[in-house]
Structure 1
Amino acid sequence: MPSKSNVEMLEKVSGSIENAGGLFVVDYRGLSVKETQEVRRALRAAGAEMKVYKNNIVKIALENAGLPNIDDMLAGTCAYVFYGEDPVEPAKVIKEQSEKLKKMNFIGAIADGKALTADEAKAYADLPNREQLMAQVAGLISGFARDIAVCINGVPSGLARGINAVSEQKQAA
Protein backbone atom coordinates (compact mmCIF):
# COMPACT_ATOMS: atom_id res chain seq x y z
CA MET A 1 0.00 0.00 0.00
CA PRO A 2 1.43 3.39 -0.98
CA SER A 3 2.26 5.86 1.75
CA LYS A 4 0.02 8.84 2.37
CA SER A 5 2.78 11.29 1.33
CA ASN A 6 3.21 9.53 -2.02
CA VAL A 7 -0.55 9.62 -2.66
CA GLU A 8 -0.60 13.33 -1.84
CA MET A 9 2.39 13.96 -4.11
CA LEU A 10 0.68 12.03 -6.93
CA GLU A 11 -2.37 14.30 -6.55
CA LYS A 12 -0.14 17.41 -6.71
CA VAL A 13 1.69 16.14 -9.80
CA SER A 14 -1.59 15.20 -11.48
CA GLY A 15 -2.95 18.67 -10.74
CA SER A 16 0.15 20.32 -12.19
CA ILE A 17 -0.11 18.18 -15.33
CA GLU A 18 -3.83 18.92 -15.78
CA ASN A 19 -3.32 22.68 -15.46
CA ALA A 20 -0.30 22.78 -17.79
CA GLY A 21 -0.08 22.87 -21.56
CA GLY A 22 3.08 20.79 -21.31
CA LEU A 23 6.29 20.38 -19.40
CA PHE A 24 10.04 20.55 -19.76
CA VAL A 25 12.27 18.12 -17.90
CA VAL A 26 15.53 19.73 -16.80
CA ASP A 27 18.60 18.56 -14.94
CA TYR A 28 19.18 21.03 -12.12
CA ARG A 29 22.09 19.23 -10.47
CA GLY A 30 24.50 21.59 -8.76
CA LEU A 31 22.18 24.59 -8.40
CA SER A 32 22.37 26.33 -5.05
CA VAL A 33 19.20 27.33 -3.21
CA LYS A 34 19.72 30.95 -4.26
CA GLU A 35 20.21 29.98 -7.92
CA THR A 36 17.13 27.74 -7.80
CA GLN A 37 15.06 30.61 -6.41
CA GLU A 38 16.35 32.89 -9.19
CA VAL A 39 15.42 30.32 -11.86
CA ARG A 40 11.96 29.82 -10.35
CA ARG A 41 11.39 33.59 -10.22
CA ALA A 42 12.38 33.97 -13.88
CA LEU A 43 10.14 31.07 -14.90
CA ARG A 44 7.19 32.49 -12.93
CA ALA A 45 7.60 35.76 -14.85
CA ALA A 46 7.43 33.73 -18.08
CA GLY A 47 4.19 32.00 -17.04
CA ALA A 48 5.69 28.71 -15.88
CA GLU A 49 6.63 27.02 -12.64
CA MET A 50 9.43 24.66 -11.72
CA LYS A 51 8.68 21.79 -9.36
CA VAL A 52 10.74 18.90 -8.07
CA TYR A 53 8.89 15.61 -7.67
CA LYS A 54 9.90 11.99 -7.35
CA ASN A 55 10.49 10.59 -10.82
CA ASN A 56 8.44 7.42 -10.21
CA ILE A 57 5.45 9.46 -9.13
CA VAL A 58 5.74 11.66 -12.24
CA LYS A 59 5.84 8.49 -14.39
CA ILE A 60 2.60 7.30 -12.80
CA ALA A 61 0.92 10.70 -13.16
CA LEU A 62 1.91 10.96 -16.84
CA GLU A 63 0.60 7.46 -17.44
CA ASN A 64 -2.68 8.29 -15.67
CA ALA A 65 -3.03 11.46 -17.77
CA GLY A 66 -2.52 9.50 -21.00
CA LEU A 67 0.62 11.42 -21.94
CA PRO A 68 3.59 9.88 -23.76
CA ASN A 69 6.01 7.62 -21.94
CA ILE A 70 9.25 9.45 -21.13
CA ASP A 71 10.64 6.93 -18.64
CA ASP A 72 14.09 7.04 -20.22
CA MET A 73 14.31 10.78 -19.45
CA LEU A 74 13.22 10.50 -15.82
CA ALA A 75 16.41 9.47 -14.10
CA GLY A 76 18.61 11.31 -11.66
CA THR A 77 17.95 14.85 -10.50
CA CYS A 78 15.03 16.11 -12.55
CA ALA A 79 13.01 19.26 -12.16
CA TYR A 80 9.77 19.73 -14.04
CA VAL A 81 8.86 23.06 -15.62
CA PHE A 82 5.11 23.23 -16.20
CA TYR A 83 3.99 25.93 -18.62
CA GLY A 84 0.60 27.25 -19.72
CA GLU A 85 -0.17 27.74 -23.39
CA ASP A 86 3.10 29.07 -24.78
CA PRO A 87 6.22 26.91 -24.37
CA VAL A 88 8.55 29.43 -26.03
CA GLU A 89 9.05 31.90 -23.16
CA PRO A 90 9.77 29.22 -20.52
CA ALA A 91 12.16 27.50 -22.94
CA LYS A 92 13.98 30.80 -23.48
CA VAL A 93 14.28 31.26 -19.70
CA ILE A 94 15.65 27.73 -19.22
CA LYS A 95 18.18 28.20 -22.03
CA GLU A 96 19.22 31.62 -20.70
CA GLN A 97 19.63 30.33 -17.15
CA SER A 98 21.53 27.24 -18.28
CA GLU A 99 23.97 29.42 -20.24
CA LYS A 100 24.31 31.83 -17.32
CA LEU A 101 24.70 29.26 -14.54
CA LYS A 102 26.32 26.45 -16.55
CA LYS A 103 24.49 23.98 -14.30
CA MET A 104 21.10 23.35 -15.94
CA ASN A 105 20.35 21.27 -19.03
CA PHE A 106 17.27 20.22 -20.97
CA ILE A 107 16.56 16.51 -20.61
CA GLY A 108 13.37 16.44 -22.66
CA ALA A 109 9.80 17.69 -22.79
CA ILE A 110 6.20 16.95 -23.51
CA ALA A 111 4.61 19.50 -25.82
CA ASP A 112 1.39 19.20 -27.80
CA GLY A 113 0.96 15.68 -26.42
CA LYS A 114 4.27 14.45 -27.86
CA ALA A 115 7.52 13.48 -26.19
CA LEU A 116 10.49 15.60 -27.25
CA THR A 117 14.21 14.99 -26.96
CA ALA A 118 16.52 17.50 -25.28
CA ASP A 119 17.49 19.04 -28.64
CA GLU A 120 13.85 19.34 -29.73
CA ALA A 121 12.96 20.97 -26.40
CA LYS A 122 15.90 23.36 -26.71
CA ALA A 123 14.70 24.32 -30.22
CA TYR A 124 11.64 25.99 -28.66
CA ALA A 125 13.99 28.58 -27.15
CA ASP A 126 15.07 29.67 -30.64
CA LEU A 127 11.52 30.35 -31.85
CA PRO A 128 10.00 33.84 -31.78
CA ASN A 129 7.51 34.36 -28.95
CA ARG A 130 3.77 34.76 -29.44
CA GLU A 131 3.86 38.58 -29.70
CA GLN A 132 6.66 38.49 -32.28
CA LEU A 133 4.76 35.95 -34.38
CA MET A 134 1.59 38.07 -34.22
CA ALA A 135 3.56 41.13 -35.35
CA GLN A 136 5.06 39.18 -38.25
CA VAL A 137 1.61 37.96 -39.35
CA ALA A 138 0.19 41.48 -39.08
CA GLY A 139 3.08 42.80 -41.18
CA LEU A 140 2.45 40.17 -43.84
CA ILE A 141 -1.26 40.93 -43.94
CA SER A 142 -0.74 44.68 -44.20
CA GLY A 143 1.88 44.11 -46.92
CA PHE A 144 -0.59 42.07 -48.97
CA ALA A 145 -3.31 44.66 -48.47
CA ARG A 146 -0.96 47.44 -49.57
CA ASP A 147 0.09 45.50 -52.68
CA ILE A 148 -3.54 44.83 -53.61
CA ALA A 149 -4.40 48.52 -53.17
CA VAL A 150 -1.48 49.53 -55.41
CA CYS A 151 -2.60 47.05 -58.10
CA ILE A 152 -6.24 48.14 -57.94
CA ASN A 153 -5.22 51.79 -58.03
CA GLY A 154 -2.96 51.12 -61.04
CA VAL A 155 -5.81 49.99 -63.32
CA PRO A 156 -7.83 53.26 -63.35
CA SER A 157 -4.71 55.44 -63.46
CA GLY A 158 -3.38 53.45 -66.43
CA LEU A 159 -6.73 53.80 -68.15
CA ALA A 160 -6.73 57.55 -67.50
CA ARG A 161 -3.21 57.90 -68.92
CA GLY A 162 -4.24 55.93 -72.01
CA ILE A 163 -7.32 58.10 -72.59
CA ASN A 164 -5.22 61.25 -72.09
CA ALA A 165 -2.63 60.03 -74.64
CA VAL A 166 -5.34 59.26 -77.21
CA SER A 167 -6.97 62.69 -76.71
CA GLU A 168 -3.57 64.43 -77.10
CA GLN A 169 -2.94 62.51 -80.34
CA LYS A 170 -6.32 63.54 -81.73
CA GLN A 171 -5.74 67.17 -80.78
CA ALA A 172 -2.32 67.14 -82.45
CA ALA A 173 -3.75 65.67 -85.64
Structure 2
Amino acid sequence: MTKAEKTALIENLTAEFKASNAIAVCDYKGLTVKQLEVLRANAREQNVKVHVIKNTLALIALKNFGVEGLELKENNIFVWGEDQISLAKTICKFSDSVGGKLVVKSGYFEGEIVDAKHIEAVSKLPSKEELIGMLLSVWTAPARYFVTGLDNLRKQKEA
Protein backbone atom coordinates (compact mmCIF):
# COMPACT_ATOMS: atom_id res chain seq x y z
CA MET A 1 0.00 0.00 0.00
CA THR A 2 1.40 3.37 -0.97
CA LYS A 3 1.40 6.36 1.33
CA ALA A 4 -1.28 8.07 -0.75
CA GLU A 5 -3.55 5.00 -0.49
CA LYS A 6 -3.03 4.86 3.27
CA THR A 7 -3.85 8.57 3.60
CA ALA A 8 -7.02 8.15 1.55
CA LEU A 9 -8.03 5.11 3.63
CA ILE A 10 -7.46 7.02 6.88
CA GLU A 11 -9.56 9.96 5.64
CA ASN A 12 -12.33 7.59 4.53
CA LEU A 13 -12.29 5.73 7.87
CA THR A 14 -12.32 8.97 9.85
CA ALA A 15 -15.38 10.18 7.92
CA GLU A 16 -17.18 6.84 8.38
CA PHE A 17 -16.36 6.71 12.10
CA LYS A 18 -17.71 10.26 12.51
CA ALA A 19 -20.96 9.24 10.79
CA SER A 20 -21.47 6.26 13.10
CA ASN A 21 -22.76 6.12 16.68
CA ALA A 22 -21.20 2.78 17.52
CA ILE A 23 -17.86 1.13 16.83
CA ALA A 24 -16.89 -2.34 18.02
CA VAL A 25 -13.48 -4.01 17.94
CA CYS A 26 -13.52 -7.81 17.81
CA ASP A 27 -11.01 -10.66 17.64
CA TYR A 28 -11.71 -12.96 14.72
CA LYS A 29 -9.09 -15.69 15.17
CA GLY A 30 -10.31 -19.09 14.06
CA LEU A 31 -13.02 -17.82 11.72
CA THR A 32 -13.07 -19.08 8.16
CA VAL A 33 -13.56 -16.86 5.13
CA LYS A 34 -17.08 -18.27 4.68
CA GLN A 35 -17.95 -17.38 8.26
CA LEU A 36 -16.64 -13.83 7.76
CA GLU A 37 -18.76 -13.58 4.59
CA VAL A 38 -21.82 -14.59 6.63
CA LEU A 39 -20.96 -11.91 9.21
CA ARG A 40 -20.64 -9.29 6.47
CA ALA A 41 -23.94 -10.36 4.90
CA ASN A 42 -25.74 -10.18 8.28
CA ALA A 43 -24.16 -6.79 8.94
CA ARG A 44 -25.16 -5.45 5.52
CA GLU A 45 -28.80 -6.28 6.28
CA GLN A 46 -28.58 -4.15 9.44
CA ASN A 47 -26.68 -1.25 7.76
CA VAL A 48 -23.55 -2.13 9.71
CA LYS A 49 -20.07 -2.15 8.17
CA VAL A 50 -17.42 -4.79 8.87
CA HIS A 51 -13.75 -4.42 7.89
CA VAL A 52 -10.39 -5.83 8.85
CA ILE A 53 -8.12 -2.81 9.23
CA LYS A 54 -4.50 -2.53 10.22
CA ASN A 55 -4.23 -1.41 13.82
CA THR A 56 -1.97 1.55 13.09
CA LEU A 57 -4.29 2.91 10.39
CA ALA A 58 -7.33 2.39 12.60
CA LEU A 59 -5.61 4.15 15.53
CA ILE A 60 -4.82 7.16 13.35
CA ALA A 61 -8.41 7.32 12.05
CA LEU A 62 -9.81 6.98 15.57
CA LYS A 63 -7.44 9.66 16.85
CA ASN A 64 -8.54 11.99 14.01
CA PHE A 65 -12.13 11.29 15.06
CA GLY A 66 -11.28 12.13 18.68
CA VAL A 67 -11.31 8.64 20.20
CA GLU A 68 -8.38 7.76 22.41
CA GLY A 69 -7.96 4.88 24.81
CA LEU A 70 -8.92 1.94 22.63
CA GLU A 71 -6.20 -0.68 22.85
CA LEU A 72 -5.61 -2.40 19.55
CA LYS A 73 -3.48 -5.52 19.80
CA GLU A 74 -3.26 -8.63 17.64
CA ASN A 75 -5.85 -9.27 14.90
CA ASN A 76 -8.88 -7.01 14.94
CA ILE A 77 -12.01 -6.67 12.89
CA PHE A 78 -13.87 -3.38 13.15
CA VAL A 79 -17.65 -3.19 13.08
CA TRP A 80 -19.44 0.15 12.98
CA GLY A 81 -22.85 1.60 12.27
CA GLU A 82 -25.42 4.19 13.26
CA ASP A 83 -27.61 2.02 15.47
CA GLN A 84 -25.71 0.60 18.44
CA ILE A 85 -28.43 -1.93 19.30
CA SER A 86 -28.48 -3.51 15.84
CA LEU A 87 -24.67 -3.51 15.79
CA ALA A 88 -24.47 -5.25 19.17
CA LYS A 89 -27.21 -7.74 18.24
CA THR A 90 -25.45 -8.57 14.95
CA ILE A 91 -22.11 -9.19 16.65
CA CYS A 92 -23.44 -11.21 19.60
CA LYS A 93 -25.81 -13.30 17.49
CA PHE A 94 -23.01 -14.14 15.05
CA SER A 95 -20.59 -14.90 17.88
CA ASP A 96 -23.08 -17.36 19.36
CA SER A 97 -23.63 -19.00 15.96
CA VAL A 98 -19.90 -19.69 15.49
CA GLY A 99 -19.32 -20.98 19.00
CA GLY A 100 -17.76 -17.82 20.40
CA LYS A 101 -14.92 -17.60 17.89
CA LEU A 102 -15.72 -13.94 17.35
CA VAL A 103 -14.72 -12.26 20.60
CA VAL A 104 -15.79 -8.70 21.34
CA LYS A 105 -12.85 -6.78 22.82
CA SER A 106 -14.12 -3.23 23.26
CA GLY A 107 -16.05 -0.50 21.56
CA TYR A 108 -17.02 3.13 21.33
CA PHE A 109 -20.73 3.85 21.89
CA GLU A 110 -22.08 7.42 21.82
CA GLY A 111 -18.91 9.13 22.90
CA GLU A 112 -17.72 6.60 25.48
CA ILE A 113 -15.29 3.71 25.38
CA VAL A 114 -17.12 0.56 26.47
CA ASP A 115 -16.10 -2.99 27.26
CA ALA A 116 -17.43 -6.30 25.96
CA LYS A 117 -19.92 -6.63 28.84
CA HIS A 118 -21.56 -3.34 27.88
CA ILE A 119 -21.88 -4.39 24.24
CA GLU A 120 -23.40 -7.72 25.30
CA ALA A 121 -25.87 -5.91 27.57
CA VAL A 122 -26.88 -3.59 24.72
CA SER A 123 -27.48 -6.60 22.47
CA LYS A 124 -30.17 -7.82 24.87
CA LEU A 125 -32.18 -4.59 24.61
CA PRO A 126 -35.24 -4.56 22.33
CA SER A 127 -34.72 -3.10 18.86
CA LYS A 128 -36.45 0.01 17.59
CA GLU A 129 -39.11 -2.05 15.79
CA GLU A 130 -39.76 -4.13 18.93
CA LEU A 131 -40.13 -0.97 21.02
CA ILE A 132 -42.60 0.50 18.53
CA GLY A 133 -44.60 -2.75 18.67
CA MET A 134 -44.66 -2.63 22.48
CA LEU A 135 -45.78 1.00 22.43
CA LEU A 136 -48.57 0.29 19.94
CA SER A 137 -49.73 -2.63 22.07
CA VAL A 138 -49.96 -0.37 25.11
CA TRP A 139 -51.78 2.34 23.15
CA THR A 140 -54.36 -0.04 21.69
CA ALA A 141 -55.01 -1.94 24.93
CA PRO A 142 -57.82 0.32 26.27
CA ALA A 143 -59.74 0.15 22.98
CA ARG A 144 -59.18 -3.61 22.76
CA TYR A 145 -60.51 -4.11 26.31
CA PHE A 146 -63.51 -1.85 25.63
CA VAL A 147 -64.45 -3.82 22.50
CA THR A 148 -64.00 -7.12 24.37
CA GLY A 149 -66.23 -5.85 27.17
CA LEU A 150 -68.95 -4.77 24.72
CA ASP A 151 -68.78 -8.15 22.99
CA ASN A 152 -69.12 -9.98 26.31
CA LEU A 153 -72.07 -7.74 27.24
CA ARG A 154 -73.76 -8.51 23.88
CA LYS A 155 -73.26 -12.27 24.42
CA GLN A 156 -74.67 -11.99 27.95
CA LYS A 157 -77.78 -10.09 26.74
CA GLU A 158 -78.36 -12.67 23.96
CA ALA A 159 -78.20 -15.52 26.44
Scaled to the shorter chain, the TM-score interval is 0.7 to 0.9
Q: Give 1:30 shift.
A: 1.6
Letter in 2 for 1:94: I
* Structure 1 runs not aligned, ≥5 long: 151-173
> How far did 1:110 drift?
0.9
Tell me the equivalent position of 2:70: 71
Q: Distance in 2 between matches of 1:30 and 1:8?
A: 30
After TM superposition, the score normalised by the length of structure 1 is 0.74
Q: Is the contact made by 2:22 and 2:87 (CA closer than 8 Å) also made in structure 1?
A: no
1:44-123 → structure 2 map (5 Å cutoff)? 44-67=44-67, 69-72=68-71, 74-84=72-82, 86-102=83-99, 103-123=101-121
SS at match of 2:80: strand
Cα shift readout 1:64-104 (whole Å, capped 9, x = no counterpart): 1123x2332x11111111112x2212211211111111210
User: Matched residues in 2 for 1:56 and 1:123: separation?
Assistant: 29
Structure 2: tracts of 5 or more residues without a match? 147-159
Q: Offset of 1:122 from its aligned partner?
A: 1.3
* SS class of match (1:9): helix
SS at match of 1:5: helix
Give the letter aligned to residue 25 of structure 2. V
CA distance in 1, matches of 2:70, 2:81: 20
Q: Residues 21-60 of structure 1 correspond to what in structure 2 (within 5 A)?
A: 21-60=21-60
Distance across 2 between alignment mates of 1:34 and 1:44: 15
Structure 2: which amino acid aligns with 1:114? Answer: E
- Structural RMSD (CA): 2.0
Q: Is the contact between residue 55 and residue 78 of structure 1 (CA under 8 Å) also seen in structure 2? A: yes
Distance 2:135 2:113 in 1: 28
How many residues matched? 142
